[in-house]
Amino acid sequence: MNNQTVLVTGGTGFLGINTILALLGQGFTVRTTLRTLSRKNEILDALSEGGISTFDQLSFYQADLLSDSGWDEAAQGCDYVLHVASPFVAEQPKDENELIIPAKEGTLRALRAANKAGVKRVVLTSSFAAIGYSIEAKNHVFTELDWTDENAPIQAYIKSKTIAEKAAWEFMKNETTAMELTVINPVGIFGPILGGISSASLDTVIKGIIDGLITENAPFTFGVVDVRDVADIHIKAMLHPQAAGQRFLATSEGVMSFYDVAQLIRKERPQLSEKIAAMQPTPADQYTVMSNRKAVEILDWHPRSKEEAILASVDSYKIADPKN
Ligand code: NAP
């Protein structure tokens, strides 16, 4: 047990629930915000599945990214805030502001409440979306120095994450405060599903491939990181003195294409091959290159392999092995 209190926003999310699990496992007192407290039991069930048996170090607060209500109470008395919540959807909305406004305004609400409460550091979950979507990938190694241009023709989610992260750094620039900000930029998050709490990307890619809904390789490759390692890097970034004022690209080594994921499942879980579509491989020179060196060197962060992350998701659907 330690005597520090951490607020995790978005406890009902795939990353949120895994971050709460990791923090409780390390003895932190944890608060989490939910849009509605009626979903509290889903969180308790998921954490029980993760091995937590007592919940006296966990409390719940109602707060919506689109409303001021509840944020000050949630942050008051906290040492750290991990702002994880942000709309993450598979379908493109008709109006991009459906994602941009909650992402940006929610980030500012979390920062304002944290600042008012005298929190030491906020760790913001941004994304590779804010790094890698307006730079020619060929012959480029993506790092924390790269930024997506929000004025480029990009999808609403990518724009929402870029604008939200920029707003957070802008807030810090304009505020005279002892509070610190650190940003984590994860690539596609995979890994095990806790208590049935999955995410849009995981469902789309893994189920899509296994069920044969993805019929062709896509003209891009993507980074993969395990949700347990993303939770871990948030905690490392929260505590490490050198993490203040930094952004960290959170990825395992290498990238994958839909073809690679399909091949991996075929090889390692052959019983699931039946519906997987035949696809053309991605040419070697079209693979994106990205670096996790900063997180490895500064935070001593050592993520699982992309293969382990993908197979953990596959196995979570409890269809990989009928004996599960
Ligand atoms: P998720 O499971 O969809 O979680 C999103 C969380 O945000 C949920 O708790 C959701 O609450 C909450 N949220 C959305 N709109 C809200 C609102 N208006 N008010 C309050 N809460 C709201 O997705 P995730 O994968 O865990 O994503 C967590 C974070 O990681 C996000 O910031 C996302 O952008 C980032 N990220 C994800 C990936 C990935 O591949 N999954 C990659 C890079 C970055 P409800 O349950 O009430 O909807």
Cα–ligand 1 centroid distance for 246 (angstroms): 22
To the query of whether residue 120 is one of the catalytic residues in this protein, the response is no
> How do residues 132-178 score in pLDDT, each as one tens digit?
999 888 889 999 999 999 999 999 999 999 999 999 999 999 999 99
Asked if the structure places residue 65 within a domain, the reply is yes
Q: Name the residue at shortest CA distance from atom 3 of ligand 1.
A: 88
Catalytic residue among 104, 161, 236, 306: 161
- State the closest ligand 1 atom to the C-alpha of 64, by its place in the atom list counted from 1: 19
Task: With H, G, I as helix, E, B as strand and everything else as coil, classify residue 247.
Answer: strand
Residue 204 lies in a domain: no
Expressed in angstroms and rounded, the spacing between residue 169 Cα and the centre of ligand 1 is: 20
Give the position, in ligand 1's atom list, of the atom nearest the Cα of 225: 40
Domain membership flag for residue 129: yes
Atom of ligand 1 nearest to the CA of 17: 26
Residue of the CA atom closest to atom 15 of ligand 1: 87
Q: Is residue 318 one of the residues assigned to a domain?
A: no
> In this structure, are residues 246 and 123 in contact, taking their beta carbons and an 8 Å threshold?
no
Compute the C-alpha angle 214/218/220, nearest 5°. 145
- Cα 271 to averaged position of ligand 1 atoms, centre (Å): 32
Question: Which atom of ligand 1 sits closest to the CA of residue 161?
Answer: 34
pLDDT tens-digit readout, 175-230: 999 999 999 999 999 999 999 999 988 989 999 999 999 999 999 999 999 999 99
Q: Say which residues have a Cβ less than 8 Å from residue 269's Cβ, sequence separation at least 6.
A: 311, 314, 315, 320, 321
80 occurs within a structural domain: yes
Helix axes 227-239, 14-25, angle to 10 degrees: 60
pTM of the model: 0.97
**Which residues does ligand 1 sit against, CB inside 6 Å?**
10, 12-16, 35, 64-66, 84-88, 102, 125, 127, 161, 186, 188-189, 199-201
At 217-274, the pLDDT tens digits run: 999 999 999 999 999 999 999 999 999 999 999 999 999 999 999 999 999 999 999 9
- 21 is a domain residue: yes
- Looking up residue 51, the CATH number of its domain turns out to be 3.40.50.720
Atom 36 of ligand 1 has which residue's CA nearest to it?
127
Distance 159 CA to ligand 1 centre (A): 15
Confidence at 320, pLDDT banded by 50, 70, 90: very low
Note down the domain range covering 42: 5-191+224-253+289-304
Task: Categorise residue 318: left if φ over 0, alpha if ψ from -120 to 50, beta otherwise.
Answer: left
Is residue 150 in a domain? yes
Distance 17 CA to ligand 1 centre (A): 10
In total, the chain counts a number of residues equal to 324
What's the pLDDT tens digit per position in 7-25?
999 999 999 999 999 999 9
- Mean of all residue pLDDT scores within the chain: 96
Q: What pLDDT does 1 receive?
A: 66
Low-confidence winner among 71-75, 102-106, 197-201, 293-297 (lowest mean pLDDT): 197-201
Using most ligand atoms within 8 A of CB, pick from 33, 42, 88 the residue to mutate for ligand 1.
88
What pLDDT sits at residue 201?
A: 85
Number of domains present in the structure of the chain? 1
pLDDT attached to residue 319 = 53
Report yes or no on 211 lying in a domain.
Answer: no
